[in-house]
């Protein structure tokens, strides 16, 4: 059985003072659940020096270097102390116009640097209501999947766009169906890759979601900003 993986995503939140939350989170980490937190680029180094678990970035550029003002490479985040990065989050796909090809390139850059990638996919409410959810998400998987995809360096996070930060949560049945479809779309390496669910994961709904079929963990947004809200999700993953 794959170990559960609970990853936090602070998004554009946090400060040096906020890193105190990592102390309590670290005290709650055991060797039964993998825990990690992605923080803004400015906090990667101090967070990595403080945390007792892996710290990651929230995005990375596909190229190793070059004229890309304001961007950071995989080697740069690694040097700062990052062990992984999120790629393809819907907020970047939608607001920054990232394509599946962009996401694939970023994941492959992380592999070159020896870092882990959490690759995000998900559908809009309109696509779900039209009965297109599985087709949309599996198409994203096939187009975004990096070369050499395997569980030792890649996880997939299913985040229905309509559930991110809205308080709406997919039903356990919907999550199980989508994760089964993703597992099939991944092909022969699918069994080695951990599938995470994201989308308004909280202490109240974590237990049901984390122990659904084909769910290997969670990618947690707002609830990862404080230890008080994040620790119960970690504890739910142990149950």
Q: Annotated active-site positions, please?
A: 89, 159
53 backbone dihedrals φ, ψ, rounded to 5°: -150, 165
Q: Is 192 in contact with 150 (CB distance < 8 Å)?
A: yes
Q: Is 11 annotated as a binding residue?
A: yes
Burial (CB count within 10 angstroms: exposed 0-12, middle 13-18, buried 19+), residue 50: middle
Known binder of ligand: residue 165?
yes
Tokens of 18: 């906020």
199 is in an annotated binding site: no
CA atoms within a 13 Å half-sphere pointing along the CA-CB vector of 118: 34
How many other C-beta atoms lie within 10 A of the C-beta of residue 8?
A: 29
221 is in an annotated binding site: yes
Rounded distance between C-alpha atoms, residue 126 and residue 15, angstroms: 36
104 known member of a binding site: no
Indicate the annotated binding residues.
9-11, 165, 200, 221-222
Indicate the annotated binding residues for substrate.
9-11, 165, 200, 221-222
């Amino acid at each position: 059985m794959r170990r559960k993986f609970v990853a936090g995503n602070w998004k554009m939140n946090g400060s040096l003072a906020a890193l105190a939350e990592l102390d309590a989170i670290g005290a709650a980490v055991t060797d039964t659940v993998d825990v990690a937190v992605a923080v803004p680029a400015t906090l990667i180094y101090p967070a990595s020096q403080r945390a007792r678990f892996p710290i990651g970035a929230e995005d990375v550029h596909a190229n190793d270097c070059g004229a890309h003002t304001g961007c950071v490479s995989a080697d740069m985040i690694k040097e700062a102390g990052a062990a992984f990065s999120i790629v393809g989050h819907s907020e970047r796909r939608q607001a920054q116009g990232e394509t599946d090809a962009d996401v694939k390139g970023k994941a492959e850059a992380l592999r070159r640097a020896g870092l882990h990638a959490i690759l995000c996919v998900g559908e809009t409410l309109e696509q779900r209501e039209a009965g297109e959810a599985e087709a949309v998400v599996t198409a994203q998987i096939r187009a975004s999947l990096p070369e050499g995809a395997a569980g030792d360096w890649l996880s997939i996070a299913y985040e229905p766009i309509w559930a991110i930060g809205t308080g709406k949560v997919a039903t356990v049945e919907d999550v199980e169906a989508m994760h089964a479809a993703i597992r099939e779309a991944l092909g022969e390496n699918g069994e080695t890759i951990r599938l995470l669910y994201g989308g308004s994961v909280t202490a109240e709904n974590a237990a049901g979601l984390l122990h659904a079929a084909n769910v290997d963990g969670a990618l947690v947004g707002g609830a990862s900003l404080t230890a008080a809200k994040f620790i119960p999700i970690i504890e739910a993953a142990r149950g």
